[in-house]
Amino acid sequence: MKPVKIIFIAFSVVALTWFSYWLNFGFFLKYEISNSQEHWGQLGDFLGGILNPILTFLTILILIQSLSLQKNEIEKNKKYEKMKSFETHFFNMIESQKKLFDIFQLSFEKDGSISIERSGAAVAALEDEILNLKGLGFNQAQLSEEINETDKEDKIYSAVRTFCVIAKLIDKKLSNENGFTEFERKEYYEVLINYTDFSLVRLILLALKYTSSAQIDFLKHNLEFMDVLSKLGVLEYLDDM
């Protein structure tokens, strides 16, 4: 109950008590206003006996309402502080991810020579390699073997690892136990994807399809994350790869 309503009820109770007293003694019994202090004292006892328990009860209700509002405010402040701490860590890690992807590189053998491609160009070259092998009839298991052969130094894993760590951060820090909801987690999964270089997103999708590790498996089995990928339409990319 809102405090304004409680105050209104309190005034109504006081007014009703006075009115009932007048109605009985003044209107029905036709008593005159007394000059006796004793009678006025009895009136005070009557009003006090009726009003004090009611007003005390209403005061307790206001106190409980006030404590409830304070508790809600404390919980909101705690959640705000958790979100503030999370976002600082979240955006710092996204910035680190960008720097790590800038130095990402893969080596490809072409026409008897080795070419080294970096960042987005490396992802494009990997895509071309996959499409060429698919054209030669390679199945998914064979393509996984070829990618592992190309990436002997686990550079793909290193490039996508930070993304997976950020996704785990969202899952852990914005958990239901910490007062957050599935909607809020999905919002930050979407922010993560949108703030990630598109070439890196494509590399992560390729890793989801063709590689396996504890980090990648976390993404594969994270239904909320996969749902966000699906809604953004990026999973359609894997149909062609």
**What is d(CA 129, CA 150) in angstroms, rounded to the nearest whole number?**
10
Alpha carbon 151 to its chain centroid, in Å, reads 36
- Tokens 């590790």 appear where? 213
Higher pLDDT, 2 or 143: 143
Kindly list the distances between the CA atom of residue 221 and the CA atoms of 167, 168, 215, in Å, as whole numbers in the listed order. 12, 12, 10
Q: Which of 85, 91, 65, 90 is nearest to 178 (CA)?
A: 85
Contact criterion met (CB below 8 Å) for 94 and 170: no
As given in the structure block, the two tokens for residue 77 are: 């402040």
Top mean pLDDT of 60-69, 206-215, 232-241 is at 206-215
pLDDT tens per residue, range 55-98? 777 777 777 777 777 777 777 778 888 889 889 999 999 999 99
pLDDT tens per residue, range 8-35? 665 666 666 656 665 655 555 555 666 6
SS3 for 174? coil
